[in-house]
Amino acid sequence: MKLPHFEYEAPASLDEAVALLVAGDGSARPIAGGQSFVPVMAFRLAEPSMLVDLRNIPGLDKIEITDAGVRIGAMVRWRDVLDDARLVEALPLLPAAIDHVAHYQIRNRGTVGGSLAHADPAAEMPTIALTCDAVLEVVGSKGQRSVKAADLFMGPLMTSLESDEIITSVLLPAWPADRRWAFQEFARRRGDFALAGIALFYDEDASGAAHNVHIGAISVGDTPLRLAKAEAVLNGRKIDEAAIAEAAAAASAEVDPSGDIHASARYRKSLVGTLLSRALQGAANRKAK
Amino acid sequence: MKVDFEVNGRAVSVDVTPRMTLADCLRHELNLTGTHIGCEHGVCGACTVIVNGDAVRSCLMLAVQAKGAEVTTVEGLSLEEGLTPLQEAFKRHHGLQCGFCTPGMLTTLHALLSEEPEASEERIRDVISGNLCRCTGYIPIIEAAMDARAAYQQARGDK
Ligand SMILES: Cc1cc2nc3c(=O)[nH]c(=O)nc-3n(C[C@H](O)[C@H](O)[C@H](O)COP(=O)(O)OP(=O)(O)OC[C@H]3O[C@@H](n4cnc5c(N)ncnc54)[C@H](O)[C@@H]3O)c2cc1C
Ligand code: FES
Ligand code: FES
């Protein structure tokens, strides 16, 4: 499958990149690692008039850790996330999830910004952003604005971004050191897209009851999802066997996945419950530091 | 578009349309047909080449994106005077049959072992999980990689 014809520019600044997208009037597209968009073009799911390569724009490839949290530049690659030892303390859920993204060679090019813009409900990063209440910074012809992950994902491969907007970074809010968390996913083969996955965290009060429960699900809807019913089951409760069983049942009941050649809808529904109970057990048993 | 980069230590200058992948550029413009193309959408790993030290899928990279890069293909990993330790290990362990996946396996493993000469078997298995082989059943490839580690460890020690 050869690619469709397009023009190509690799501007050296965000302003120029935005100007090229504006001139393209919806038919010019940014390209980051190309690990999703090149296949998309090969399959003719998109035939852009121009690709605006973000690789020469300075400043998009940094991971910054501050009191506000972890700010990840749009052009940070999976490989950079996994190589950054600071993240294991600063935001352990992130590397644990990214460890499941794709394969060695793809991790050398695929980027955080590209994955968020691609908005694949089966991908890890969109669900992590949603689960962690992340906020994206984007720049477009109308200037800069912040977009909550919760307002970003509209459908499979669809976001609320304008066609001239470029993601520059994403902020994952600061993570208390004693927060409990877990990531669980099931795929046929390591590195393949998940049949289903669960990302979660919660904090505990002095009595050991959970609060601030955040549960995100991968690959069981048109967008990444928060499992509000399962969260409601757990908020204010101790995470014991009964609570886990109840939350798992709630999670299976509240998702409405579709089936495909990889797994039936019923299987995915049941898998969500299983993964949630494994994740909760993992989070509850993890030694607090 | 005119693009200048380096392939296997040699400066090259090609005139390509933006839609040409690096894989097609290597094969059709530069006659380096050692890089194989299986799926053309990033799934099989046969087209893996090394760009600035990193193993990447050359079917998912545009030739125009190689501007200024140092590219190493499977041709660049062989010696005039005989087999390299990695090639030798593939031969000894029957790490190839039809050979279609072999360029991708060699480039991937070379990139890995150059950077991580102590890579564990688990790490090697994880890394080549992105490379499909229809013939060998993978075990001989993993054995070859494990065997070749010594040469990479020594090369690192010599530096
Ligand atoms: C075989 C294979 C297996 C994979 N497995 C997984 C997996 O298990 N999990 C997973 O999450 N991913 C997987 N991926 C996808 C991979 O992680 C991609 O790298 C990622 O989804 C997109 O990142 P990219 O930088 O390559 O984006 P690109 O492909 O360059 O772009 C993707 C989309 O985002 C837009 N875009 C890119 N950057 C920006 C930006 N800064 N602002 C606005 N729009 C932008 C592009 O216009 C395009 O629409 C796999 C890919 C392959 C080929
Ligand atoms: S041809 Fe590039 S991964 Fe298959
Ligand atoms: S040796 Fe035939 S595909 Fe691997």
Q: Which ligand is nearest to the CA of A190?
A: 1
Using the predicted structure, report yes or no on whether residue B159 has a pLDDT greater than 80: no
Cβ–Cβ < 8 Å for A154, A132: no
In this structure, are B24 and B62 located in the same domain?
yes
B112 touches A: beta carbon within 8 Å: yes
Mutate to test the pocket of ligand 2, among B36, B59, B129 (most ligand atoms within 8 A of CB): B59
Domain ranges of chain A: 7-53, 63-173, 180-285
Residue A212 CB neighbour total at 10 angstroms = 13
Using the predicted structure, report yes or no on whether residue A95 has a pLDDT greater than 80: yes
Q: How far is CA A265 from CA B26, B48, B122, in A?
A: 43, 35, 33
pLDDT given for residue A286 in this prediction: 81
The CATH number of whichever domain residue B45 belongs to comes to 3.10.20.30
pLDDT given for residue A10 in this prediction: 98
In this structure, are B51 and B91 located in the same domain?
no
In this structure, are B36 and B63 located in the same domain?
yes
pLDDT given for residue A119 in this prediction: 98
In this structure, are B108 and B56 located in the same domain?
no
Mean pLDDT, to the nearest integer, of A242-248?
98
Beta strands A28-31; A50-53: pairing state: parallel
Number of structural domains chain B divides into: 2
Q: Which of B77, B109, B130 is the last residue of a domain?
A: B77
pLDDT given for residue A197 in this prediction: 98
Residues 6+ apart with CB under 8 A from A82: A95, A98, A99, A107
In this structure, are B91 and B143 located in the same domain?
yes
Of B20, B42, B65, the CB nearest to A53: B65
In this structure, are B92 and B51 located in the same domain?
no
Question: pLDDT digits over A124-173, tens only?
Answer: 999 999 999 999 999 999 999 999 999 999 999 999 999 999 999 999 99
Q: Do domains A7-53 and A180-285 have the same CATH topology?
A: no
Q: How far is CA B85 from CA A74, B79, B90, B145, B159, in A?
A: 39, 10, 9, 10, 17
Q: Do B127 and A42 touch (CB under 8 A)?
A: no
pLDDT given for residue A120 in this prediction: 97
Residues 6+ apart with CB under 8 A from B44: B38, B101, B104, B131, B132
SS3 B131: coil
SS3 B134: coil
pLDDT given for residue A79 in this prediction: 97
Chain A residues touching residue B40 (CB < 8 angstroms) = 1-2, 42
Cβ–Cβ < 8 Å for B52, B69: yes
pLDDT given for residue A192 in this prediction: 82
CATH number corresponding to A7-53:
3.30.43.10
- What are the pocket residues of ligand 2 if the criterion is a CB atom closer than 6 Å to any ligand atom? B 37-40, 42-47, 57, 59
Question: pLDDT digits over A104-133, tens only?
Answer: 999 999 999 999 999 999 999 999 999 999
Using the predicted structure, report yes or no on whether residue A215 has a pLDDT greater than 80: yes
Name the phi and psi angles at A5, rounded to 5.
Answer: -75, 140
Q: Which of B77, B93, B119 is the last residue of a domain?
A: B77
Chain B residues touching residue A39 (CB < 8 angstroms) = 41-42, 60
Question: pLDDT digits over B14-56, tens only?
Answer: 999 999 999 999 999 999 999 999 999 999 999 999 999 999 9
Say if ligand 1 is within 6 A of residue B39 CB. Answer: no
Cβ–Cβ < 8 Å for A216, A130: yes
Instruction: Name the percent of chain A lying above pLDDT 90.
Output: 95
ipTM of predicted assembly, 2 dp: 0.95
pLDDT given for residue A159 in this prediction: 98
Cβ–Cβ < 8 Å for B100, B36: yes
Residue B34 CB neighbour total at 10 angstroms = 19
Q: Do A35 and B62 touch (CB under 8 A)?
A: no
- Helix axes B139-158 and B85-92, enclosed angle (nearest 10): 150
Cβ–Cβ < 8 Å for A125, A112: yes
pLDDT given for residue A288 in this prediction: 56
SS3 B6: strand
Domain A63-173 has what CATH class? Answer: alpha beta
pLDDT given for residue B156 in this prediction: 87
Chain B residues touching residue A6 (CB < 8 angstroms) = 18-19
Cβ–Cβ < 8 Å for A254, A228: yes
In this structure, are B38 and B70 located in the same domain?
yes
Of A254, A204, A246, nearest in space to A227 by CA: A254
Tokens read off for A136: 């994206």
pLDDT given for residue A178 in this prediction: 93
A287: pLDDT confidence band, cut at 50, 70 and 90?
A: low
Mean pLDDT, to the nearest integer, of A77-102?
97
A53 touches B: beta carbon within 8 Å: yes
Using the predicted structure, report yes or no on whether residue A191 has a pLDDT greater than 80: no
pLDDT given for residue B97 in this prediction: 97
Q: Domain A180-285 is classified in which CATH homologous superfamily?
A: CO dehydrogenase flavoprotein, C-terminal domain (3.30.390.50)
Work out the angle at residue A70's Cα, subtended by the Cα atoms of residues A55 and A38, and round it to the nearest 5 degrees.
Answer: 30
Cβ–Cβ < 8 Å for B132, B102: no
pLDDT given for residue A196 in this prediction: 97
Beta strands A69-73; A63-66: pairing state: antiparallel
A258 touches B: beta carbon within 8 Å: no
Question: pLDDT digits over A13-57, tens only?
Answer: 999 999 999 999 999 999 999 999 999 999 999 999 999 999 999
Tokens read off for B111: 């990139």
Residues 6+ apart with CB under 8 A from A29: A21, A37, A46, A48, A50, A51, A52, A163
In this structure, are B65 and B99 located in the same domain?
no
Cβ–Cβ < 8 Å for A128, A225: no
Instruction: Name the percent of chain B lying above pLDDT 90.
Output: 96
In this structure, are B54 and B120 located in the same domain?
no
In this structure, are B60 and B125 located in the same domain?
no
CA B57/CA B64 separation, integer angstroms: 15
The CATH number of whichever domain residue B105 belongs to comes to 1.10.150.120
Of B61, B67, B128, the CB nearest to A34: B61
* Side chain identity at residue A216, one-letter code: G
Q: Where in the sequence is the domain holding B36, given as residue range(s)?
A: 2-77
SS3 A230: helix
Q: Which of B77, B108, B127 is the last residue of a domain?
A: B77
In this structure, are B37 and B68 located in the same domain?
yes
The overall average pLDDT reported for chain A is 96
Chain A residues touching residue B24 (CB < 8 angstroms) = 2
Cβ–Cβ < 8 Å for A1, A39: no
Question: pLDDT digits over A171-180, tens only?
Answer: 999 999 999 9
In this structure, are B44 and B67 located in the same domain?
yes
Mean pLDDT, to the nearest integer, of A207-212?
96
Distance (Å) from the alpha carbon of B68 to chain A's nearest alpha carbon: 12
Residues 6+ apart with CB under 8 A from A171: A68, A69, A70, A71, A72, A134, A135, A136, A137
